[in-house]
Amino acid sequence: MRVNVDGTKCAAYALCAEIAPQVFDLDDFGYAVATPEDVPAALEVVTGEAIEACPVQAIRRLT
């Protein structure tokens, strides 16, 4: 599984980084960025929770 954060939609709520800090980081301005690697299988459930928690639906699952 890979994920992408749409920087034009992200509103810096940071819920994704709070829920799945192994997958999402915050840039210097507080906006989310996803790790460029594949999400490990052990983190897929929590990553899905982070995707669902995004209030502006800025995160999408690529695979």
Sequence letter at residue 11? A
The CATH class of the 3-61 domain is: alpha beta
Each of the 63 residues of the chain gets a pLDDT tens digit; together they read: 999 999 999 999 999 999 999 999 999 999 999 998 999 999 999 999 999 999 999 999 998
Predicted model pTM: 0.92
Domain-by-domain residue ranges, the chain? 3-61
Instruction: Spell out where the chain has E strands.
Output: 3-5, 24-26, 32-34, 59-61
